[in-house]
Amino acid sequence: MSDPYSSIAAQPSEVTDKLAGVLEMRAAQTEQTHLRDHLLMQKLHGSVLEIGAGTGAITRAIAALPSVTEVTGLDPSAAFLDAARANAGPKEIYVEGYSTSLPVADASADAVVLWTTLSHIPVEQHAESYAEILRVLKPGGVLHVFDNDLGSWEGRLHERDPLDVPVRAFLDLNADPLALRKIPVALAASGFEVGPYTVHTVVDEAEDTYCRRA
């Protein structure tokens, strides 16, 4: 089984329709909202670019900030973008594209946001994506990265839970479990001045959650 988000532009409608619901559910989770409010929202102003905007859930939240004048949501999925545009406000613009070739002008963004997106971008494309982000950021602009630390994922319900094996196999096949921990060094190598790196643990116990949804 491969990561459907890494090839989202090629996915059939039955897949994108289900994933669209997952994106909206995840964005509405209490833990996600809390992390956005405390780690991201207070730091944004002016023109913002979100890479991997999906159905626009995070882009809409960013656009609601009085300090933000405009926000562009970028995604490779036309289906996701149709859903995002259907709920868009006056400060939102949605464009189709990839992180490796951003259809955005040089030095045009005060901030770029990668919210649970980087882990779905193939590792071999990270350096090219960072270079593109540097190109579109204004002098003094900031890249904000929030993602899953796959190396610390724990899905076992008990010590000998047999489901742990396929979960680990899926992660090993589709992602670098240590990718998030390598970000500071990779960003510095790409020319960024790296800020604080923090890890926040979330325990998912809700009945209606994207982790348990069929």
pLDDT for the residue numbered 203? 55
- Buried/exposed code over 81-119 (b: 16+ C-beta within 10 A; e: otherwise): bebbeeebeebbbbeebbbeebebeeebbbbbbbbbbbb
* pLDDT tens-digit readout, 127-176: 999 999 999 999 999 999 988 777 776 667 777 888 777 777 776 776 67
pLDDT for the residue numbered 138? 97
* pLDDT tens-digit readout, 53-85: 999 999 999 999 999 999 999 999 999 999 999
3-state helix, strand and coil shares in percent for the chain, rounded to the nearest 5: 45, 20, 40
* pLDDT tens-digit readout, 88-129: 999 999 999 999 999 999 999 999 999 989 988 888 899 999
Give the pTM.
Answer: 0.83
- Alpha-carbon distance of 62 to 68, in angstroms, equals 7
Q: Which two tokens stand for residue 190?
A: 């790409």
